[in-house]
C-alpha cells in the first residue's frame, strides 16, 4: 500500500491551502521576473559598458544554465528527502522550499551590491539556483495534494502569480522604493515573507525508506510520449514568451521612443496582469468542468501569437497597449490549463518533483536560447518587427503541438 506521499490525491484541498501556495508562488515569481524585466536592465545600463543588450543576454543566459541544472536536480532530491533533523515535522518537500527561499534571498542581497558585470552574473546565478529549488518543491505540491478534477482551478491560482509577481515587483522597485540596490533588498524580503508560511503551515507527507526509488536521470520517452510532447509544447510557447519580453524595456526606449520607458513598461505589465487575472481561474475551472485541456491550450496560443503580430506590424504605443492585454488574456489561459495538463502526464508518482523539474527546463532553457536568438534578430536581421514575427510563429507552433498528446482530452 502506497504511503500518502505517493498516493493519488482524492480529497479536494481547502481555500487556505490554495491561498498559502498562491502567496509562496507570488513571492517566487516576484523575485524571479522583476530583476529580468526591470532591475537587471537598469543595473547593466548603469555599469556604463557598451553592448547592453548582449550583456543582459549573457547574464540571463548564464543564470538559465544554472536553472537547467538546479531544477531537475533539486526536484530529484526532494522526491527522496527524509529529513532527520526535524523528524516528521517536514516531509520531503518543505525543506527544499525553505532552503531555496533563503538561498535566493542571499543571491538577491548580493546583486544589490554587485559592482561589475561578472558580479551581477554570479549573484543572479545564485538567486536562480535557489529560486529553482523552491519552484521544484512548490510545483510538486499540485500533483502531490490536488485531485485531478480540481487541478485546473488550482493551477489558475498558481499561475496568476507569474503576472501578479511582476506587477508587485515593478510597483515596489519603481514607484515605492528607488534605487537598484534597495530594489533587490526589497525583493529578498518579499520572497521570505511570502514563501516561508507555506512551508511552515501546510502538511508535507514524509516518505518511507521502502518507498524511495533509485535516482535516475533517464526518462522513458518512448514509454511516455505524452510527457515528451508536453515538454515540447511548453518549451516552444515559453521560448516565444522569452523572445517577446526580454528586450521590452529597450523596445519602448529605442523603437517606440516613449517619453518614460520605465513608466510605460509598468503600464504594459499592469494591462498584461489584468488580462491574465481575467482568464486564468475562469478557464482553469472551465477545463475542469468540461474535462478538456488541449483546445484551451491551442486557442491561448492563437491569442498570444496575435499579440506578437500586432507589435511586429505596428510598433507604436497604442498597439503595445492592445498587445499587452491580449498577451495577458492568452497567457492566463495557457498557464492554468497547460499546468493542469502536465500534472496528468507525469511518468511516476515517485519522481513527481524531478519530472516537473525536467518540465521546468522547458521554462529555463528559453532564457538561454532567447538572448542568443533575439539579439541578432534585433541588431542584424530586421529589428523588432522580425523579432515579434518570429515570436508569433514560435508560440503558435508550440500551442498546436499539444494535439499530439493522446492521454488527455
pLDDT at residue 213 greater than cutoff 80: no
Q: Cα(164)–Cα(157) distance, rounded to whole angstroms?
A: 11
Domain architecture of the chain: domains with CATH: 15-208+220-404 (1.20.1250.20)
Could you give the CA distance from residue 119 to residue 134 in angstroms, rounded to a whole number? 23
Q: Which residue has the higher pLDDT, 221 or 354?
A: 354
For 266-294, how does the pLDDT look when each residue is reduced to its tens digit (9 = 90+)? 888 889 889 988 999 999 999 999 989 99
Look at residue 217 in the predicted model and tell me its pLDDT.
Answer: 57
CB 282 within 8 Å of CB 156: yes
> Could you give the CA distance from residue 396 to residue 312 in angstroms, rounded to a whole number?
15
Q: Please report how many Cα atoms fall inside a 13 Å half-sphere around the Cα of residue 308, on the Cβ side.
A: 28
Percent of the chain having pLDDT more than 70? 92
Determine the average pLDDT of the residues in 79-92.
63
Write the pLDDT tens digit of every residue in 43-55. 988 888 878 878 8
Give the confidence band of 120 by pLDDT, cuts at 50, 70, 90: very high
Q: What is the pLDDT of residue 87?
A: 41
pLDDT value of residue 2: 43
- For the beta carbon of residue 118, count every other beta carbon within 10 angstroms: 12
With 60 as the cut, is the pLDDT of residue 75 above it? yes
Tell me the average pLDDT of the chain. Answer: 86
**306, 326 contact by CB (below 8 A):** yes
**What pLDDT is attached to residue 57?**
80
Tell me the per-residue pLDDT of 147-165, one tens digit each, with 9 for 90 and over.
999 999 999 998 889 878 8
**What is the C-alpha separation between 245 and 226, in angstroms, rounded?**
29
Stronger pLDDT, 87 or 8, i.e. the higher one: 8
Tell me how far apart the alpha carbons of residues 69 and 74 are, in angstroms, rounded to a whole number: 9
Lowest mean pLDDT among 39-53, 70-84, 309-323: 70-84
User: What does the pLDDT average to over 187-203?
Assistant: 94
Number of alpha helices (DSSP H) and beta strands (DSSP E) in the chain: 15, 0
Residue 352 grid cell: 513527481
Mean pLDDT across the stretch 27-37? Answer: 91
Percent share of the chain, pLDDT over 90: 44
Asked if the model's pLDDT at residue 351 lies above 50, the reply is yes
Alpha helices in 80-221 (DSSP H): 94-111, 117-145, 151-159, 161-171, 180-201
Per-residue confidence band for 1, with pLDDT thresholds at 50, 70 and 90:
very low
Q: Sign of the C-alpha dihedral, residues 346, 229, 333, 56?
A: positive
Distance CA 185, CA 116 (A): 18
Determine the pLDDT at residue 218. Answer: 62
CB neighbourhood size of 232 (10 A): 17
Where b means 16+ CB within 10 Å and e means fewer, 59-88 reads: bbbbbbebbbebbbbbbbbbbbbebeeeee
In this prediction, residue 153 carries a pLDDT of 93
pLDDT number for residue 191: 97
Q: For the chain, how big is the Rg over CA atoms in Å?
A: 20
pLDDT at 215 over 60: no
Residue 59: C-alpha distances to residues 54, 249, 391 (Å) = 9, 16, 21
Buried b (16+ CB within 10 A) or exposed e, 180-214: beebbbbbbebbbebbbebbeebebebbeeebeee
pTM of the predicted model, to two decimals? Answer: 0.82
Q: Calculate mean pLDDT across residues 363-378.
A: 79
Would you state the pLDDT for residue 98? 93
CB 137 within 8 A of CB 99: no
How many other CB atoms sit within 10 Å of the CB of residue 37?
A: 20
Cell 533533523 belongs to 85
- Per the CB < 8 A criterion, the answer to whether 44 and 169 are in contact is no
Amino acid at each position: 500500500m502506497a504511503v500518502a506521499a505517493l498516493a493519488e490525491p482524492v480529497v479536494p484541498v481547502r481555500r487556505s491551502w490554495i491561498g498559502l501556495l498562491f502567496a509562496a508562488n507570488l513571492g517566487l515569481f516576484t523575485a524571479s521576473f522583476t530583476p529580468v524585466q526591470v532591475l537587471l536592465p537598469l543595473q547593466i545600463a548603469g555599469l556604463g559598458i557598451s553592448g547592453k543588450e548582449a550583456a543582459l543576454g549573457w547574464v540571463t543566459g548564464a543564470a538559465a544554465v544554472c536553472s537547467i541544472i538546479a531544477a531537475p536536480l533539486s526536484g530529484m532530491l526532494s522526491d527522496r528527502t527524509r529529513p532527520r533533523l526535524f523528524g516528521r515535522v517536514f516531509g520531503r518537500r518543505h525543506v527544499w522550499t525553505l532552503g531555496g527561499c533563503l538561498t535566493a534571498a542571499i543571491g538577491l542581497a548580493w546583486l544589490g551590491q554587485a559592482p561589475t558585470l561578472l558580479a551581477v552574473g554570479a549573484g543572479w546565478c545564485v538567486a536562480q539556483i535557489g529560486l529553482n529549488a523552491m519552484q521544484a518543491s512548490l510545483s510538486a505540491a499540485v500533483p502531490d495534494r490536488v485531485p485531478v478534477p480540481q487541478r485546473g482551478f488550482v493551477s489558475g491560482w498558481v499561475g496568476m502569480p507569474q503576472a501578479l509577481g511582476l506587477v508587485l515587483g515593478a510597483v515596489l522597485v519603481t514607484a515605492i522604493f528607488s534605487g537598484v540596490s534597495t530594489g533587490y533588498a526589497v525583493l529578498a524580503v518579499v520572497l521570505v515573507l511570502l514563501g516561508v508560511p507555506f512551508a511552515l503551515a501546510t502538511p508535507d507527507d514524509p516518505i518511507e525508506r521502502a518507498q524511495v526509488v533509485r535516482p535516475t536521470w533517464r526518462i522513458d520517452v518512448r514509454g511516455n510520449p505524452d510527457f515528451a510532447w508536453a515538454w515540447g509544447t511548453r518549451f516552444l510557447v515559453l521560448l516565444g514568451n522569452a523572445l517577446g519580453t526580454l528586450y521590452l524595456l529597450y523596445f519602448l526606449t529605442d523603437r517606440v521612443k516613449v517619453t518614460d520607458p520605465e513608466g510605460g513598461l509598468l503600464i504594459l505589465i499592469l494591462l498584461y496582469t489584468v488580462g491574465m487575472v481575467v482568464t486564468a481561474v475562469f478557464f482553469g475551472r472551465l477545463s475542469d468542468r468540461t474535462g478538456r485541456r488541449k483546445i484551451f491550450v491551442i486557442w491561448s496560443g492563437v491569442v498570444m501569437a496575435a499579440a506578437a503580430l500586432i507589435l511586429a506590424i505596428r510598433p507604436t504605443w497604442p498597439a503595445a497597449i492592445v498587445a499587452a492585454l491580449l498577451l495577458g488574456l492568452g497567457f492566463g489561459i495557457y498557464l492554468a490549463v497547460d499546468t493542469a495538463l502536465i500534472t496528468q502526464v507525469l511518468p511516476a508518482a515517485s519522481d513527481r518533483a524531478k519530472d516537473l523539474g525536467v518540465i521546468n527546463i522547458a521554462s529555463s532553457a528559453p532564457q538561454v536560447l532567447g538572448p542568443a536568438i533575439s539579439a541578432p534578430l534585433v541588431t542584424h536581421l530586421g529589428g523588432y518587427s522580425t523579432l515579434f514575427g518570429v515570436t508569433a510563429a514560435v508560440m503558435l507552433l508550440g500551442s498546436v503541438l499539444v494535439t499530439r498528446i493522446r492521454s488527455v482530452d
